[in-house]
Amino acid sequence: METGKATAMQQVKEDVTVSVAMEKAIKLCHSLESKADDLLWRISGNHGPSPIAEPPSSPQSVEHRFMQSSDEIVRLAGQIKG
């Protein structure tokens, strides 16, 4: 009986750890998106911080927007070099 209880407690501990890690990852994605938006704003010739965009509704949209931002940064960097 004690082994089952210990196993259940270990599973709860692992679930909480994963949940906390996921929450931190989502916050990091939001932070990266904000920094990417700011970098694009500045690369585009604007000054000061970029206008605040509405937060995305899901982690998938964060990933999608980050990839779009990354592609745009690479494109603009190519224009600056070339």
* Domain span at 54: 2-81
For the chain, state the CA radius of gyration: 20
Task: Provide the 3-class DSSP secondary structure of residue 1.
Answer: coil
State how far the Cα of 13 lies from the Cα of 38, in Å rounded to an integer: 38
| pTM over 0.85, yes/no | no
Would residue 45 be called left, alpha or beta, if left means φ above 0 and alpha means ψ between -120 and 50 degrees?
left
Q: Which two tokens stand for residue 2?
A: 């004690």
Mean pLDDT on 66-79: 74
Nearest to 59 by CA among 15, 14, 22, 16: 22
Per-residue pLDDT at 54 exceeds 60 = no
CB half-sphere exposure, 48, CA atoms < 13 A: 2
- Write down the pLDDT at residue 49: 61
- Write down the pLDDT at residue 66: 67
